Structure 1
Amino acid sequence: MNYIRTMHSSPPVTPLVAQRALGFTLIEVMVTVFVLAVGILGVAGMQAVSVRESGNTYHRTQADLLVVDIVDRMRANRNEARKGANSAYLADPTQAAGDCEGIECDEPTMAGHDLREWNQSLMATNLPNVSTSITFVQDTVAGTTTVGSVFSIQIFWDEDRDGSTGKGCDPDNQADMSCTSLTIQI
């Protein structure tokens, strides 16, 4: 006798718990992608702040180096700097004249040469909206003899590039430019 077996395919029987879990892994993947995206945005934001602050630090370093540069030039030409309120170092650096390349110069001409070269270095830094101030503060007197002159040297720049023009050097005042300042006695 031949028996014929018939196979009927019936839908698989799934337990109730397995039916509730359908699609759960898709939700897990979506949550993971969302968390990862937020993390990547955070890292990108930190990178942008880091780049901006790196530029700010570069500007401040350039300004500090330029202040030290003009101080060194004034110390090298001490007799002119010690003229105090009459010193040629108080001239506008953008208008300074004097060319002492390879020739001997008198002290006021050397001061003009120093200011002209210093201004060229200042412009080469590309500090945004840069300006300077060299001011005579006072003579230092010992008895009846003037033993030195005190100067204040400042460099201002618009760090935020927002059109600031104030020269109060107050970091909390949005109208003030960034600055570096040094008061010296020569």
Structure 2
Amino acid sequence: MKQRTTDTPRPLRSAGFSIIEVLVALLVLAIGLLGLAALQAQGLRFNHDAYVRTQATHIASDIIDRMRVNPENLADYTAADPDLLCDPTFEDLQGGTTIEMDLSCWYDAVEENLPGGSAIITANATANFYDVTVRWLDRTPRDFGGTVRVPGTAAECDAIAARFWDAGSGACLVEHTWTVWP
């Protein structure tokens, strides 16, 4: 039997983590944190989109309720001048606000509460109903090096229902229409 000599060093056992293991763990942690930050940003964007849609629905409901209260004069809602100044305290002889004031204040609410907001009320004489259409920018414009633009392309925008590409402004607009039956 051969004896071992004590001069030969024995291999040492690992007593901790190697630098490679630590770096790999840090890389995995960094990727996870970046994913979490992206998820948070996406959630904020969706929250803003939902907020704007809610605002549009409230604004449209406001004018629709006003139209339903005044069914005899529905046609006047399509012919009013949107450039009148909004004065909610103005009252006509019957004690209610006039159609022009209703629309003026409504147009102001659309412009103030919706990014790039616009609205129109149209009549369909053959079917005897009215459409209330509200439009706004899909996302709030962002500033990129002095150039304000809305992210997205025409193809991306047109692929989603209720959105359309406005070539004049180079932006994706959201459009919703509510129908009012007398």
Number of equivalenced pairs: 156
Question: Does 2:124 match 1:137?
Answer: yes
Counterpart Cα distance in 1 of 2:102 and 2:28: 58
Counterpart Cα distance in 1 of 2:36 and 2:17: 29
Instruction: Give the aligned residue type for 1:16.
Output: P
Q: Identity rate of aligned residues, in percent?
A: 27
Counterpart Cα distance in 2 of 1:155 and 1:30: 53
- Partner residue in 1 for 2:107: 119
CA distance 1:183–1:156, change in 2 (3 Å):
same
Identify the match of residue 181 of structure 2 among 175, 179, 185: 185
- Partner residue in 1 for 2:18: 25
Question: Does 2:61 match 1:63?
Answer: no
Instruction: Give the aligned residue type for 1:64.
Output: T
Counterpart Cα distance in 2 of 1:177 and 1:38: 34
- Partner residue in 1 for 2:29: 36
Which of the pair is proportionally richer in helix? 1
Deviations 1:39-90 (A, max 9, x none): 0000000011111111111111100111110000111111111xxxxx2201
Structure 1, unpaired ranges of 5+ = 1-12, 82-86, 141-148
- Partner residue in 1 for 2:145: none
- Contact 1:131 / 1:157 at 8 angstroms: preserved in 2? yes
Identify the match of residue 152 of structure 1 among 131, 146, 150: 131
Deviation of 1:170 after TM superposition, in Å, equals 4.1
- Contact 1:94 / 1:119 at 8 angstroms: preserved in 2? yes
Instruction: Give the aligned residue type for 2:103.
Output: L
- Contact 2:129 / 2:179 at 8 angstroms: preserved in 1? yes
- Contact 1:99 / 1:110 at 8 angstroms: preserved in 2? no
Look at both structures and tell me which one has the larger radius of gyration over its CA atoms: 1
- Contact 1:150 / 1:185 at 8 angstroms: preserved in 2? yes
Counterpart Cα distance in 2 of 1:25 and 1:163: 45
Q: CA RMSD in A?
A: 3.3
Deviations 1:134-161 (A, max 9, x none): 1001355xxxxxxxx3001110011134
Deviation of 1:15 after TM superposition, in Å, equals 2.8
TM-score between both structures, scaled by the size of structure 1: 0.69
- Contact 1:93 / 1:119 at 8 angstroms: preserved in 2? no
Counterpart Cα distance in 1 of 2:110 and 2:125: 26
